[in-house]
Structures are given as C-alpha cells and as structure tokens.
Amino acid sequence: MISLRSLGNIDRKIIFAALFLSVSIPLIFDFRLPNRITKEVRAVYDFIDRLPPESAVLVSFDHDTATLPEMSPMARALLRHLFNRRLRVIGLALRAEGSSIGNGLVHAVAAEYNLQEGMDYVFLGFRPEITSAILGMGENIARVFPKDFRGVPLDEIPLMQTVKNYRQIELIISIADDDTPNYWINYANARYHEAVVPAVTAVMATTYYPFLQEKQIIGMVPGLKAAAEYEQLIGRPGDASVGMSAQSIAHLLILLLILIGNLSYLSARRRR
Amino acid sequence: MDSGIWIAAGLTLAIYSFLYRDNPAYKFAEHLLVGISVGYLIVIAFKDTVVPKIIDPLFVHRQWLVLVPVIIGVLMFSRFVSKIAWLSRPALAIYIGFGAGAAIPANMQANILAQIRATVSPFAGIDSIGGAINAVLIAAGLICTLLYFYFSKKHEGVFGKFTRTGIYFLMIFFGATFGFTVMARISLLIGRAGFLLRDWLNIIK
Amino acid sequence: MRRQIPVILCFGFGAFMLAQFFVPSRLSIEAYEMVVDWTQTIYVFALLVGVAGMIKYHSEKISGKKAGYFYNLVTLIAVIVMAASGFIWGRGESSPFDWFFTYMQAPMQATVFSLLSFFVASAAYRGFRARNFEAVLLLLAAALVMIGRVPIGDYIWSGFPKIANWILDVPSMTARRGIFIGIGLGTIATALRVILGVERTYLGKG
C-alpha cells in the first residue's frame, strides 16, 4: 500500500518523465480551452489598434534564443497586428542574439503582408550598452545606428528620412527576457515621455505591475498565456494558443506534486 | 527531412540526457554551445558596432575624434598584463561615471516619484468600496514593506508589527513570482517538446 | 595619478550626465550625443575583452593538456568556425552562419533553459513546504497564480483568474513597488558616492 510518507520520496526521474508527458500528451491531442483576455494585454491591443496608419513603432528584440519558445509567439502576434494596421515598424536589438532573431522574424512576418523593406519596415541591428543606446536614440537614431542590418546608410532609407528620434515614434515595444524594459521606462519614458510596452517572459511579469497604474507603461504582454491572448485578439491562433493546454496540465501536475509533498511532510511531522 | 532538424534534435537530446546524469554527450553539447555563442557575438559585435562606429567614421568619413574612445577602449586590453592593468581604469571610469550620472534622474523620476504618485493618486478618484480598500491596502502595504528594509532599528514592538506585515506582502510577491517562474519554464519545455514532436518526429501536424 | 585620473574622469562624465538632464540647451545636447557615442564605442572593447579572456582561458587549458581539455578544444574550434563563417559568407538567411544559429545555437540554448522546468518541478515537490505562516502565504500565492493564469483554472472556477489578478494588482504589486523605491534610493545613493569618488571599488587594487 502506498503511504503518505513514501509519496514524499518519489524518484526525481519519475517526476521528470511525468512532466514531459504532461506537456507532450496535450500537444498531441490538442484540446483547447477558452482563454480569458487580461486587462493589461487588452490595453496594448487597444492602443495599437487606435494608432493612425503610417505611425512609427519601435520594436526592440531584447532577448536571446534561450527564451525563444516563449518570446517568438508574442513577437509574431504583435508584429502581425502592427503590419495589419499598416504601421511602420523599426526593429532593433539591444541583445546580440536578438539581432538575428529580430531580423528573421520581422522579415518573415512582413512577407505575409507583402511589405517593402525600407518603406514599411526596417531592421537596424544590434547595439551594445543599453543606456547609451536608448538615450542616444532620443536625440538622433542615425547617430546610434548609422546603417541598418543590411549595411544601408540610414539617410538612404525612406522610412528613416521621416523618423529621426523618439518624437516621431508613437510606441516602443520591448520584447525582453530580462530587465531591459526597465531601461526603456527609466530613460525613454521618464525622459522622453514615450509610450512603452514590455512584452516579457513570465518570470519578469511581476516586475512591471507597479508601472501600470501611473501609465509609465500602457499595458503589458507577460508570458505565453498573454501571447495566446494576443493571438486570440488578432484572430490568428498560433504556437501560444496550441501550448495553453500543455501549460494547463503541467501546472496541475506541479500543484499536485506540491500538495503530495506537503501532505507527506505534515504526516511525518504529526508522527514526530 | 532537413539535416538541420536532425542535428538540432540530436543536440536537444544530448542536453536532455543530463536529466539522467552528467555524461560526455551533454558536456560536448554544452561546450559546443559556448563556442558557437562566442563566435556569434564576435561577428555581430564587429558587423553591427565596430564597422559603423569605428571603421566607417575613421577610414571613410575621416572623423578623427573617434580615435579618443578607440584609444581608451584599446587600453582595456591592458588588463591581461598585470603590470600595466591600471591603464584600463579610465575606460571603466568613463563608463561607470556615465551610467551613474544617467541613473540618478532616471531613478528619481521612474522608481521613486512616479511610484509614490501612483500610490497616492488613487485616493483622489475612489469610486467604489473595493477601490477604497485596495487603495488603503496598497498605501499601507507599501509603508510596511519600506519599513521592513529599514535595518537601523530593531524590528520589535509596534515597529516589529509593521515590518512583519511588510514581510507578508513580500511573501505574497515571492509566491506570485514563483508561480510565474514555473509558467515561464514550462513554456520553454512546451517549445522544445513541440519541436521534437512536430518538426522532428512529425507526430503533431 | 593611477587612481586620481580615473576618479576625475568618473566625476566629470557623471556630473555632466546629471547636469545635462536639467540643462537641455543645444550645446549640451551636442556634447551629450558625443558622450553617448563614446560610451557605446568603449563598451564594444569591453565585449571584445570578454571574448579575448574566454579564448585565453580555453587556450591555456588545451596547451597545458589539463583534464577534459578535449571539450575546451571543441569550444575553441566552434568559436573559430562560427566567426569565420560569419566573416567569409556573411550572415544572410541561407548562409552557414545563419544555419549554425538556427539549427545549433538556438535549439541548444532553448533546451538548456528548458531543463530548468524539470528542476523547478522537482524542487517544488521536495522543498516547497508549509512550515510556517509566511511559507503558507507564499505557497498560496504561488498556487493561486499558477491556477488562475492558465485557461484550465478559469474552466474549473471563474473565481481563480479574478483572485490571481487581484494578487498581482494589489499585494504583489505593492511589495514590488516597495522594492523599486528601495532600489531607486539605493541606486541614487551609490551613484552619488561613485561620482563623488567616495566609492572606488571599480578601480580594483593597486
């Protein structure tokens, strides 16, 4: 008979296997549950939806490949919304790996809408030293990025001939897996009063709630669930929506493990 | 099937083999990753920064003032020779001074004044009992949390009760953060599982 | 002089950045743009110093034939091959550089981080114990957020997402705000100490 105490000593390889199955089986059988839209994601969607066409939006790929499974769906959903609204996208990266990630993603999504590089969107590449990059663009983007990712001088790019600094940019989206959005808030928002949206990994979600009240950020897209919400709002379910069933079952498994662990602990404590 | 998918799958499984135990396949993949990542950084740093910020201004536009930060930056390599390592200090000093000067007004505005304003302003527009309770909870919780971080006075008596309340708020914050951390890590696992099942094994369409 | 000049430079650049914020004249903005430029250029060398240090470390292990030096050789060869492919064939979409990035770097990096999910599950099972009131609070908050922020939580009971949202909007946010204010005050104090030369640990020894 399985005792509560023995349930407190499950081999970790069994836990690993159970976790992998809890993620894989829902992916194979793909059942979907309704996904409630949170107010912070809705705020981002509504803000972008209200921007006039041709408005310039800066999208900064401030993450690396480690968090690609979480960041890529939200980046894709946001870019689809921006391009669908005919907004002009200026992509860049403040993390080295974000350069290749961002360049690939911006081009891939722009191709879905038959958009022209240089006119409808541009990818500027990577700049190190976050503070000086963000502060520098507040005065003169071409000074921080003399050329784009392809090596074309910025003064030869039609889009960048009308966008010189933050004054011509309506929104900054930081797709990040660390505290880079803090820098955008501290420098681009506090100094230049730019609207900022952190699209972050779930680990960083609780960091940005204090900024919502005072409108230092206009909304937030935290984690894969928020990415699934955004996919739902734009009417194009993707990887995030597919992953929600697996996310749900895995969470239930972990809660069950915590419950079993605590029951075993309380049982052992009572014996003593 | 694309050979790249097979290589990616093989390397993925090599890293997952660590879950069983540390082994040569995992070590190989780990060291390969470090090497590829550094090689990537060299190329990106050169093409995206050295060329447009140093080579082009110096050799194409003849902007000789660029030599000043270049010389200061090159001096950073003196760190490898202990006798002349002190030559790298000016570069560090400039960088740290710049960051410190920029951080003062930024932190004052974004992290202090705006946050205090956000705590106080809800009291001006309370339109429901729930809103009023939340506003009081936020203000009281903020004071208690800040008092907890004041270590110059012993946390006892009435003061201790306030700091204890601060701890409770902090525990809720850590719990919420842990919940989100679990969510984030599971999301990464979902991505890898999706790759193995869909792109490699074609079990999912 | 070896310590005085860096301290003076630190003061100069720090004081300038602080003063410029309050004096946005045309001249100060031009000087500000130049300083921002210079900082970017200097930082590139910091990156390259890091890379050089890493190559030096692995080279020493290989030349000294230290234990496990085969893996250091793997690292060094990977650096050379990746860098060479980027410089020779460029970084366009069908280039070898992009292939290495897409099929080796990205999958491996993502997999390493996904390992954490297994260890988080195991650690939660073994270590997450309701030993006292504070631990119960932490546990409850984690559980409610975990169940409230996935679709199945809403499916089981519509109250779960509402409770999770309230936790995030009120108590959790409040504590985070307190931490932010503390960090803000600490950053300002430390920054002032650094600019005024009171704090000199960045200079190292000698």
* DSSP-H helix ranges across C101-132: 106-127
Q: Residues with Cβ < 8 Å from C22, sequence gap 6 or more?
A: B105
- Choose the mutation target among C41, C149, C187 for the interface with A, i.e. most A CBs under 10 Å: C149
Give A269's pLDDT tier (boundaries 50, 70, 90): confident
| Lowest-confidence pick of A255-259, A266-270, B72-76, B176-180 | A266-270
Read off the pLDDT of residues C120-141 as tens digits, 9 standing for 90 and up: 999 999 888 888 999 999 999 9
Report pLDDT for A5: 67
**Three-state helix/strand/coil letters over C21-52:** HHCCCHHHHHHHHHHHHHHHHHHHHHHHHHHH
Q: Quote the CA–CA distance of C35 and B47 in Å, as a whole number.
A: 22
Read off the pLDDT of residues C155-185 as tens digits, 9 standing for 90 and up: 999 999 999 999 999 999 999 999 999 999 9
Q: What 3-state DSSP class applies to A82?
A: helix
CB contact under 8 A, C43 and A64: no
**Mean per-residue pLDDT of chain B:** 91
Q: Is the Cβ of C126 closer than 8 Å to some Cβ of chain A?
A: yes
Please state, as a whole number, how many other Cβ atoms lie within 10 Å of the Cβ of residue C186.
13
Read off the pLDDT of residues A66-109 as tens digits, 9 standing for 90 and up: 999 999 999 999 999 999 999 999 999 999 999 999 999 999 99
Instruction: Give B-chain residues touching C131 at CB under 8 angstroms.
Output: none
Instruction: Domain ranges for chain B, please list them.
Output: 129-205
CB contact under 8 A, A190 and B48: no
Q: Is the Cβ of C37 closer than 8 Å to some Cβ of chain A?
A: yes
Read off the pLDDT of residues A97-153 as tens digits, 9 standing for 90 and up: 999 999 999 999 999 999 999 999 999 999 988 998 999 999 999 989 999 999 899
Q: Is the Cβ of B91 closer than 8 Å to some Cβ of chain C?
A: yes
The alpha-carbon gap from A213 to the nearest alpha carbon of chain B, in Å, equals: 6
Q: What 3-state DSSP class applies to A146?
A: coil
Report pLDDT for B84: 85
Q: Least CB-CB distance to C176: which of A64, A206, A255?
A: A206
Q: Is the Cβ of B51 closer than 8 Å to some Cβ of chain C?
A: no
Read off the pLDDT of residues B53-106 as tens digits, 9 standing for 90 and up: 889 989 988 888 899 999 988 998 888 888 888 888 888 898 899 999 999 999
The answer, yes or no, to whether residue A7 has pLDDT greater than 80, is no
Please report, as a single letter, which amino acid is at residue B182.
V
Q: Least CB-CB distance to B36: which of C9, C18, C100?
A: C100
- Of the CA atoms within 13 Å of residue B180, those in its CB half-sphere come to 26
Rounded (10°) CA dihedral C161, A47, A155, B95: -50
* DSSP-H helix ranges across chain A: 4-7, 12-29, 39-50, 68-84, 96-112, 130-139, 141-144, 158-161, 180-183, 190-192, 205-208, 223-234, 239-271
Report pLDDT for C105: 95
What DSSP element (H or E) covers B116? helix B114-120
Report pLDDT for C24: 77
Place of tokens 């996310």: A247
Q: Which chains are adjacent to chain A, needing at least 3 Cβ pairs under 8 Å? A: B, C
- The verdict on pTM exceeding 0.90 is yes
Report pLDDT for C112: 94
Please, which residues bridge with residue A169 across strands? A56
Q: What is the radius of gyration, based on Cα positions, of chain B? A: 27
Q: Quote the CA–CA distance of A121 and A133 in Å, as a whole number.
A: 20
The alpha-carbon gap from C153 to the nearest alpha carbon of chain A, in Å, equals: 8
% of chain A residues with pLDDT over 70:
98
**ipTM reported for the complex, 2 dp:** 0.90
Whether the Cβ atoms of residue C139 and residue A176 lie closer than 8 Å to each other: no
